Amino acid sequence: MAGGKIKKEKGKPQQHTPYQGGISFHKSKGQHILKNPLLVDSIVQKSGIKSTDVVLEIGPGTGNLTKKLLEAGKKVIAVEIDPRMVLELQRRFQGTPYSNRLTVIQGDVLKTELPYFDICVANIPYQISSPLTFKLLGHQPAFRCAIIMFQREFAMRLVAQPGDKLYCRLTVNTQLHARIFHLLKVGKNNFRPPPKVDSSVVRIEPRKPRIEVNQKEWDGFLRICFNRKNKTLGAIFRQKNVISLLEKNYKTVQALKLSQEGPLKETETKMDLSNLGDFMDDEGMEMEGRTDDDDDEMEVEDGEAEEVRSEFKDKVLGVLKEADFEEKRSSKLSLQEFLYLLSLFNKAGIHFC
């Protein structure tokens, strides 16, 4: 259960699963409550919570995990969108030693300004996986780690390595900002009501210090590289529409240099990740009919294999040849190689935003 967006399914009756306390869970809203106490204990243990930690819990539901977090940390801030669950939390901990250490915020976590916290623990509606991940990664000051339950396929995309089938633009974008580790697989029967898919718990550790990069430039670069991740970079950057786009950017940059009568000022490198999740995979809890490369498509048309002969095209391909990237494929490039290649393009005056 989580404090995220509630998505309604049109034309379908809402599915309800009764809770012994009288609360019904709505599968259509991503309300799947952890019912296995051993799994709850394992998540808390792997979180490494200190007695001095402020813990942010997203989607506390009826408070099964909340109780364990209160026992381990100094304070718990719980963000919950469902007013019924908020009342249940307040009722459950009222008059207990934990009541003064629990703060409940009712609202959509994606629209809520998050307070300071050391650790985040979340069992979320899987349709908000991507925007929530990037909201957390953009949070300042940076937290120590986040322990989050994701749909298994989404989780495996986050931890994928170059050459893995699920390695994609989402992978590289998240690993730019954080180190991500797979902790454990969670079967669907550990939830009430059970979802249609298995889940995984991952640990996200924001990079300190951050890798400085112009986020718009980086995103535009990755969109082109992952246009067809199994094609060679040489084939991708020979496409007519790609050359046309980059040449337009190149001419704009050159014109700006001339108008400023000096070197072009560096674009602001402060990272704003608030909207980055909109570009990534919003993989639903019970999605069906996906293919492995659905998220690896550029938003521009793929273009034909039509060759365009120009001095600028030679310049672009020259960058690839210079560092031996022409025959390499995005599906097998590491984060460091992507950063290096982008720096070579920028050094040649070629930009992606």
Q: What is the mean pLDDT of residues 60-79?
A: 95
pLDDT confidence of residue 280? 47
* Confidence band of 286 (pLDDT split at 50, 70, 90): very low
Is residue 314 marked as binding?
no
- Per-residue model confidence (pLDDT) at position 262: 52
Give tens-digit pLDDT for 122-140: 988 888 999 999 999 999 9
Supply the pLDDT for residue 192.
81
| pLDDT value of position 129 | 95
pLDDT value of position 194: 85
pLDDT at position 118: 98
Mean pLDDT of 76-102: 95
Q: Who wins on pLDDT, 157 or 290?
A: 157
On whether 118 is known to bind a ligand per the annotation, the reply is no
26 is in an annotated binding site: no
Question: In the predicted model, is pLDDT for residue 269 greater than 70?
Answer: no
Q: Residues 168-177: pLDDT tens digits? A: 999 999 999 9
> What pLDDT was estimated at residue 34?
81
Q: For the chain, what is the mean pLDDT?
A: 84
- 349, pLDDT greater than 70: yes
Query: Do the annotations mark residue 294 as ligand-binding?
Result: no
Sign of CA dihedral 272, 278, 279, 285: positive
Is 59 among the annotated ligand-binding positions?
Answer: yes
Q: Which residue has the tokens 């790609």?
A: 242
- Confidence check: pLDDT of 274 > 80: no
**Residue 136: per-residue pLDDT:** 97
| pLDDT score for 33 | 78
Evaluate if residue 302 carries a pLDDT over 70: no
Instruction: Note every long-range contact of 332-339, with CB atoms under 8 Å and residues 24 or more positions apart, other chains counting.
Output: 332/162, 332/163, 333/162, 333/225, 334/162, 335/172, 335/175, 335/176, 338/172, 338/221, 338/222, 338/225, 339/211, 339/213
Q: Is 282 annotated as a binding residue?
A: no
